[in-house]
Amino acid sequence: MSDNVQEKDALIHELQQRVTALEDELRYKLALTLTLANVAYDALLVLDQDLNVTAVNTAAEKLFRRSQPAKMPLAEFTGMPELAGIAEMAAEMDEETFEEQVTAGDRTYRVRATVIRRDGSHFIGLALQDVTQLVRLNRARRDMVANISHELRTPIANIRLIIDGLFHDQDKPKRKDSISSLLAIARETDALLWLVQEMADLSMIESGQAIVRMIEVPLVDVVNDAIERLANQSQVKNIKIIKHVPDKLHVLCDRDLTARVIINLLHNAIKWSPPGETIAVSALIRDDEVTISVFDNGPGVPPDQVERIFERFYQVDASRSGNDGTGLGLAICRHIVEAHGGRIWADSNANGAGGRFSFTLLSADVNQ
C-alpha cells in the first residue's frame, strides 16, 4: 500500500516538473515571439478566418492608435477597408504570401498577407511597411532622369542643327555667319557644362565631401565675381545686373561656395527675367547677420510653392514662361547656406512684386 502511494507521489511530482517545464518553455516562446513582433519596424496584425483582428504588435498599435483588439473587425481597427480586400484575396487565392500597395492619406504602404492553416486553425497575417519615402525617392529619380534627358537633348540637338547649317554642302560658310554660329554653339555648350556642374555640386555636397572653410571675405568681391561669371548670359538677354553692397562689408564664409550660391541665384534670375530688364543684388546687415538678396522682374514664385522651391528636382511651372531646368540649383543653394549656419528663402509673388531670393551669412564686421 505504501509503495503505491510513493509511486503515485513520484508520478505526480514528475508530472508537476513536466508542467512547470512546459510553462517555462511557453513563457519563453511567448516572450521571444512578442520580442520579435515588437522589434519589427512593420505593423503586424493577425486575423482569424472572419477577418477579425486577434493580435497586433506595438508598431501596429502606434500606427492605428489602438490597443490590443478583442476580435475587432479589420476595417474598423485600421480604418483602411482595402486591407480587408487584400486579406480576402489572399485567402481565396490560397497562396503562402500575397503583396499589394495601398495609400492612406499621404502615406504609402506595402502590404504583405500570409495565410496559415495548421492543426485545424486558420489565420491570416498582415505586415504593413511604410514605403512613402521610397516612393518619393523613386518619383524623384524618375523626374531627375526625365529632366536631365530633356536638358541634355535640347542643347545637343541645337548644336547639331547649328553645325549642319554652318557646313551645308551647298553653301560655304561666311565669316559673319560662322562667328554667330560658333557663339550659339558656345551658349549651348555652357548649358551642358552648367548641368554637369549642378549634378557634381549636389553629389559632393550631399555626400559630405564639400568642406566649408569659413574665413573673412569682402562680400562685394564675391558678388563681383559672380556677376562677371554670368556676363555672357546677361548680355544675351540684354539684362543689367546692379549691386547695392557696401564696399567695407565683410562676411564669414567659404568664398567659393558662397559665390556658387550667388551665381545660382543670378542664373535663376536671368533665366526668368524678360529681356532688357534689371536684376539687383543687395546686402543689409542687422546685428551679426548679413542678408543678401537677389531681385528680378520675372514672374516670381507662386505663394503655394515658396516652401517647396528648394527641394531637389522641384520646378515651378515652366509653361508660364517657357523656361525649364533641372530643379537642382536652388537645392544646392539651400545645402550650402545651411552648411554655413544660415537661412535661405523665397518671397512669394502674391503682390506681383517679381522674384526675390534671400539668404543669410554671419557678419565679420561687428562695428558696421
pLDDT tens string 175-229: 666 677 777 777 777 767 767 777 776 666 666 666 788 999 999 999 999 999 8
- What residues form DSSP beta bridges with 30? none
Domain ranges of the chain: 2-132, 133-209, 211-368
Q: CA 359 to CA 268: how far, in whole Å? A: 15
Please compute the mean of the pLDDT values over residues 149-153 and round it to a whole number: 67
Q: What is the pLDDT of residues 40-65, one digit of tens each?
A: 567 888 888 788 888 888 778 888 88
What cell numbers appear for 49 in the block? 478566418
Count Cα atoms within 13 angstroms, Cβ side, for 350: 7
Rounded CA Rg of the chain: 33
Count Cα atoms within 13 angstroms, Cβ side, for 9: 6
Q: CA 280 to CA 198: how far, in whole Å? A: 23
**Which of 267, 255, 244, 265 is closest to 221 using CA atoms?**
255
Q: CA 126 to CA 83: how far, in whole Å? A: 9
pLDDT(145) > 70:
no
Most confident of the following: 56-60, 323-327, 360-364:
360-364
The hierarchical CATH code for the domain 211-368 is: 3.30.565.10
List strand residue ranges (DSSP E) for 320-354, in order. 344-347
Which pLDDT score, from 0 to 100, does residue 185 have?
Answer: 76
Determine how β-strand 240-244 pairs with β-strand 43-47.
unpaired
DSSP state of 315: -
**Which of 321, 318, 301 is closest to 309 using CA atoms?**
301
State what percent of residues in the chain have pLDDT above 70: 69
Count Cα atoms within 13 angstroms, Cβ side, for 185: 14
Q: What is the pLDDT of residues 214-271, one digit of tens each?
A: 999 999 999 999 999 888 888 889 999 999 999 889 999 999 889 989 999 999 999 8
| Domain 133-209 part of CATH 3.40.50.11540 | no
| Residue pair 123/87 in contact by the 8 Å Cβ criterion | no
Terminal CA-CA length for the chain: 110
Query: Spelled out in words, what is the top-level CATH class assigned to the domain 2-132?
Result: alpha beta
List strand residue ranges (DSSP E) for 223-354, in order. 240-244, 250-253, 278-286, 289-296, 344-347
Q: Rounding to the nearest 10 degrees, give the CA dihedral for residues 33, 34, 39, 45.
A: 90
| Residue pair 346/336 in contact by the 8 Å Cβ criterion | no
Per the confidence metrics, is the pTM higher than 0.85?
no
- Contacts of residue 12, defined as CB under 8 A and 6 or more positions apart, other chains included, come to none
| Residue pair 335/206 in contact by the 8 Å Cβ criterion | yes
